[in-house]
Structure 1
Amino acid sequence: MAADDISRGEAERLRGLDDAARVARTFEVIAGRGELWVWGDEDEILFTEDARRRTLLPIWPHATVARLENEGDVPGEHAIRIAADVFLKEWLPQLEDDRADIAIFPVEENNAAVLTLAEFHSRMTAALRLN
């Protein structure tokens, strides 16, 4: 387990939180640690679609919860750490080109929230200022 990771038991507890609590926890942790987690392999990042066929990039506040959600689906895939400032400056413009939104802390295909890139940027910027 990485030094900045959480135990499986703590990850299971966080996965059991309601949607609003998972959203709050995600922004709190990203602001506090300056990082977030996505899922993918050496070549690609995992995107999903919702029922409205929007392209979504799932993000998690901890590697362990990302692993619990995805592990075993495709060999070679793993949690990928992204610095929050890099995500805001480099990833968001690319996601805009891809016309993707952000899926916050999905658990069993239930997103805690789906935010537009502008909404995510606004909330993340505010959370980073508070930290």
Structure 2
Amino acid sequence: MARDDISRGEAERLRRLDEAARVTRTFEVIADKGALWVWGDEDEILFTEDARRRTLLPIWPHATVARLENEGDVDGEHAIRIPADVFLRDWLPQLREDDADIAVFPVEEHNATVLTLDEFRARMTAALRMN
């Protein structure tokens, strides 16, 4: 298990939390571990769309929950660790160019919440400051 990973049992427990609890836990874990997880392969990161056709980047607080959500979909895809500071500095400007929002901790295609990039930056900055 990677150093930022959790057991499958713990991941299943987190997946059963309600949306508000998943959001809270996501920001706590990212602030504590200094990283978040996305899904993709060596060439591309997974994006999704919601019912309103907004482009969304799904993020997870642990590799295990990302794997439980995506494993087996496409060969070669895996959880990718992104340091929080790199995400804020490098990824958010690119996501703005891509006109994408953030889907927090999706479970079975149900997002805990969808945040604009500004909302995500504010929540993440506050969480990092509190840690």
- TM over 0.5: same fold? yes
Amino acid at match of 1:38: V
In 2, the alpha carbon distance for the partners of 1:97 and 1:78 equals 24
Answering whether residue 25 of structure 2 is matched by residue 25 of structure 1, we say: yes
Identity rate, percent = 84
2:34 matches 1:7: no
Match in the other structure for 2:16: 16
4+ residue runs of structure 1 moved beyond 2 angstroms? none
How far apart in 2 are the matches of 1:88 and 1:2?
23
Q: CA deviation at 1:4?
A: 2.0
Partner Cα distance (1:108, 1:101) in 2: 18
Q: Aligned letter for 1:106?
A: P
| Structure 1: runs of 5+ lacking an equivalent | none
1:41 maps to 2:41 = yes
SS in 1 for 2:107: coil
Per the normalisation by structure 2, the TM-score is 0.99
Deviation at 1:70, TM superposition (A): 0.1
**Which whole-Å CA distance do the structure 2 matches of 1:28 and 1:83 have between them?**
14
For 1:67, give the aligned amino acid: R
Counterpart AA for 1:49: E
- Report what 1:106 is aligned to: 106
Instruction: Find the aligned partners of 2:39 and 2:14 in 1 and give their Cα distance.
Output: 18
2-structure distance, mates of 1:3, 1:110: 27
Q: What's the TM-score, normalizing by structure 1? A: 0.99
Superposed CA offset, 1:46-100 (max 9, x none):
0000000000000000000000000000000000000000000000000000000
In the aligned structure 2, how far is the partner of 1:16 from the partner of 1:91? 29
3-state SS of paired residue (1:79): strand
Whole-angstrom CA distance in 1 between matches of 2:4 and 2:38: 15
Unaligned ranges ≥5, structure 2 = none
